[in-house]
Structure 1
């Protein structure tokens, strides 16, 4: 029996909610890994990027291919120089595909460009010209560009509607063998079908690179050097990722929390997948491991608050985290001592690792967000345990933004990045617009995906229920509004990529990538983290298990 106040813990019977989480899908698969691989870089590709005699349209397509193949991190300076060199005058006379590609690349790289660039493709009424309906490649490029729209960009709203309609029509006609002036063949057909399912701006870069390598291989116009480099690089980086996951799996097994705490989700591989979404490049190796360990630990804490702890136990645990002192362990029930010690040990390890780089300041910010989320988990737990209590939607949202974990994960994603200065942490902690948008997407998309499960568990005070009660709307209407809120947040993110100048694009990409993860992991209102079999297993298999044949 746990030490502490016997009135608190020595109860005859505690009724706890049954979590019934499925076990890990991966067993011991990532317990060991071979590190016999070659790192191949091709100077020929760098030469192609900087070659001056290439036409502007050719250069844009080259840069786009390099980025979509997942190898642009080797050539960041050269690509940025070329993008700045390409002027609007060189592009303005181009076709729809070239103009849309130019627009998308500039915005993705944090440069402002007006959506008025598309006006020449519209009629006087603002509608896009009907002659574009059969320009399938152009429609696809405009569709991807339109997904970078910000608030008030009516021409891009029209572009998204126009392209979506005609791309779906072209696919349907193709599938039904109906007469079509332009038969769509592979790989363009595959590109369109995938884009309609997962637009580029909201896709996980590493996942999209894996898919695009297979697509690019089918192009008649493919560059063999690019393709070979992409495959070699993917395979070598995959081996690095497996090595990292091997290290992470050993740490997780040594903690042995799954057997000690039967109620927690065993999702360490999925935690690592999350970090690949934030940054897959080799230079972020240490950052990935730190972030993955934190995600695994916050998952355990989340399950403790959500699926096991009593109100009294959780209050004492919250107080102990707030004081952050190993002496607090004696006040906790036995099962909580295991979790508490693991948390304190983890952050002590971070402090030791970062002190060598004189970056211990980062741990201070990471601890602050851990304390913040635990306080909010405790508030949420009290709400759920107060029979008939329903917080106001405003109170729910304020607390729910924190329990979404995205304030904590954004800060933690910075701690292993040597480029994340104290100023970058201060910027983040002050909740800039792009970070609020990021958290908004996480909270509202998560609420939609987990609503049915939470309802079956008997949880009240969920976001959907709070909104329904306060505004007198149906479930369907509440979910529609939550989707609208998430869409508006994506427009904020798209705008801040080029408006936010306080930090580098490298820093901003971490925020954008966290939002992309939500779009993928909770696709079609499913919780891919808790139930990874359908959504995440194929992606994890592609990224971490099966290499490309050279």
Structure 2
């Protein structure tokens, strides 16, 4: 999106004066030709591959060993660490089986029965089961309330418990007042903690969790943070940690190969800088975007990354370059794909502010998110016709992810004068201030996340492996558009994130 004049002026006789294109002057790529060529590193050495195989088997044995009362808490922590270190994709069957055993042992009619009086373990058990699709009741947290129905103030001294409760509350759905209160209470207590305990060992982790919630963070990016926290924990499993580091470095090599090939396609085959100088040069950022959707080696990211990059070009063509006459001709040529973009262009040139409902319908299509989510399924081997039919019939989780993308992009990009946004639409329709409109739109984002959380609980319409793609598309938006448009302004946080995934290696 870009800045520019709101409408085309006309002279006294009705003739249009020479038109100045609303060029955005996007800053150039911060990467240059860094990823253009790929040179393998020692991460692919035979010794590392063999070491990883042996360590993987050790981790698998820990997951499949019998569970009992004595090692119940250990099993919970081990599953959590495997997932947060980014290697759970190696052990999906083992984790499925273990969590099923844990569910059968610890619940009755979806209620967690007596397990632990410790807040940390109770919240961890609740979160792990909910993350896996079990529709667990939040009533288990009643035992942590006082006589007034509020969470006991004494819990505030248990920082690990507070953090575990905060992460569990991230999976709240509509109507769950208990988890709403849990989120509010834990957030307040953790915020107080970091203002007082500036040098405590937990401070850095709490600060990160408050800035980027676990539920809304990108799993592979979160793994880079968790590895340092986990390594500092005296009780960490050295074999698991070493395996996670080796796996990260080896998988990074695969990702670098892909980024190099896609960069060549962008710069050499399409020659975007010469042929389309008005567009954002963001192919590396597009690669990062889709790595956020699926980083696992068994999935193909090519088609979805190319679709994202081409969608970015079309977005810039309509928002930052084309005249209305040119856009009419272009729209006629590929009408079904870009009709929604054309509707937005007409809004801009006629100063029309649509209703929120009209805006969200049109902008949801032009954002490309429903298309990209469906496209991402083509990179997955187990995609069926039924899954594609489901995806093209506006399921709640795809609609919610799209709404998050549209609203968060609008909030951080609201200074673009010529672009109609959900903020303007809400202000006009409800006759409220800009501040009030943003607050209400942020509530819609929270509600959309509740829709996502609910759609991931059993029974589900499609397997979790497809639902999690829609979750990850929403996560990308939360990571990149929380404070500003870090796709357009790619030199700050986006650059740091890309370096974490594609430049920096894990030290062994």
Q: TM-score of the superposition, structure 2-length normalised?
A: 0.91
Establish whether residue 401 from structure 1 lines up as the match of residue 364 from structure 2.
yes
SS at match of 1:271: helix
Aligned-pair CA distance for 1:14: 3.7
Please list the CA deviations of residues 259-314 of structure 1 after superposition, one character each: whole Å capped at 9, or x if unmatched: 11211000000000001100011111x2x111111111110111111111111221
Aligned-pair CA distance for 1:460: 5.1
1:295–1:409 CA contact under 8 A, matched in 2: yes
1:390–1:460 CA contact under 8 A, matched in 2: no
Cα RMSD of the aligned pairs, angstroms, is 1.6
1:258–1:265 CA contact under 8 A, matched in 2: no
Q: Corresponding residue for 1:280?
A: 295
Aligned-pair CA distance for 1:91: 6.8
Aligned-pair CA distance for 1:469: 1.1
Report which stretch shifted further, 121-130 or 289-298: 121-130
1:145-160 counterparts in 2 under 5 A? 145-160=168-183
User: In the superposition, relative to structure 1, how do residues 460 and 199 fare at CA in structure 2: closer, same or farther (>3 Å)?
Assistant: closer
Aligned length: 474
Q: Corresponding residue for 2:245?
A: 231
SS at match of 2:469: helix
Aligned-pair CA distance for 1:185: 2.8
2:184 to 146, 161, 169: 161
2:349 to 377, 385, 400: 385
Q: Matched residues in 1 for 2:413 and 2:439: separation?
A: 15
Aligned-pair CA distance for 1:153: 0.6
2:166 to 143, 157, 160: 143
Q: Corresponding residue for 1:60?
A: 76
Q: Corresponding residue for 2:503?
A: 545
Please list the CA deviations of residues 499-536 of structure 1 after superposition, one character each: whole Å capped at 9, or x if unmatched: 45221000000000000011000022x00000011110
Q: Corresponding residue for 2:334?
A: 321
Q: Matched residues in 1 for 2:121 and 2:295: separation?
A: 29
Q: TM-score of the superposition, structure 1-length normalised?
A: 0.84
User: In the superposition, relative to structure 1, how do residues 416 and 93 fare at CA in structure 2: closer, same or farther (>3 Å)?
Assistant: closer
User: In the superposition, relative to structure 1, how do residues 12 and 167 fare at CA in structure 2: closer, same or farther (>3 Å)?
Assistant: closer
Establish whether residue 88 from structure 1 lines up as the match of residue 103 from structure 2.
no
Please list the CA deviations of residues 225-283 of structure 1 after superposition, one character each: whole Å capped at 9, or x if unmatched: 01100110000001110011011011111210221121100000000000110001111
2:31 to 26, 30, 34: 26
SS at match of 1:430: coil
1:252 to 260, 263, 266: 266
Establish whether residue 268 from structure 1 lines up as the match of residue 283 from structure 2.
yes
Aligned-pair CA distance for 1:124: 3.4
Q: Corresponding residue for 1:448?
A: 411
The runs of 4+ residues in structure 1 deviating greater than 3 Å are 11-14
Q: Corresponding residue for 1:483?
A: 442
User: In the superposition, relative to structure 1, how do residues 230 and 263 fare at CA in structure 2: closer, same or farther (>3 Å)?
Assistant: same
Q: Matched residues in 2 for 1:546 and 1:460: separation?
A: 38
Q: Corresponding residue for 2:132?
A: 109
Establish whether residue 297 from structure 1 lines up as the match of residue 310 from structure 2.
yes
Q: Matched residues in 2 for 1:293 and 1:80: separation?
A: 33
**More RCO (CA 8 Å, sep 6+):** 2
1:171–1:193 CA contact under 8 A, matched in 2: yes
Establish whether residue 99 from structure 1 lines up as the match of residue 57 from structure 2.
no
Q: Corresponding residue for 2:381?
A: 418
| Residue ranges of structure 2 left out of the alignment (5+ in a row) | 1-15
Q: Matched residues in 2 for 1:461 and 1:442: separation?
A: 15
Q: Corresponding residue for 1:5?
A: none
Q: Corresponding residue for 2:470?
A: 511
1:465 to 416, 424, 447: 424
Q: Corresponding residue for 1:368?
A: none
Aligned-pair CA distance for 1:12: 9.2
Please list the CA deviations of residues 27-72 of structure 1 after superposition, one character each: whole Å capped at 9, or x if unmatched: 1111122235143232100001111156111100000000000011
1:528–1:535 CA contact under 8 A, matched in 2: yes
1:151–1:491 CA contact under 8 A, matched in 2: yes
Q: Matched residues in 2 for 1:170 and 1:314: separation?
A: 54
Q: Matched residues in 2 for 1:21 and 1:165: separation?
A: 39
Please list the CA deviations of residues 60-119 of structure 1 after superposition, one character each: whole Å capped at 9, or x if unmatched: 000000000001111110011001101225973311111101111111111110011111
1:169-248 counterparts in 2 under 5 A? 169-175=192-198, 185-186=200-201, 188-248=202-262
Please list the CA deviations of residues 132-155 of structure 1 after superposition, one character each: whole Å capped at 9, or x if unmatched: 111111110000000110011111
1:57–1:98 CA contact under 8 A, matched in 2: yes
Q: Matched residues in 1 for 2:369 and 2:147: separation?
A: 44
2:187–2:210 CA contact under 8 A, matched in 1: yes
Please list the CA deviations of residues 382-438 of structure 1 after superposition, one character each: whole Å capped at 9, or x if unmatched: 11111x322222211211111222112111111111112111111011111111111
2:150 to 127, 130, 154: 127
Q: Matched residues in 2 for 1:223 and 1:264: separation?
A: 47
1:513-528 counterparts in 2 under 5 A? 513-524=472-483, 526-528=484-486
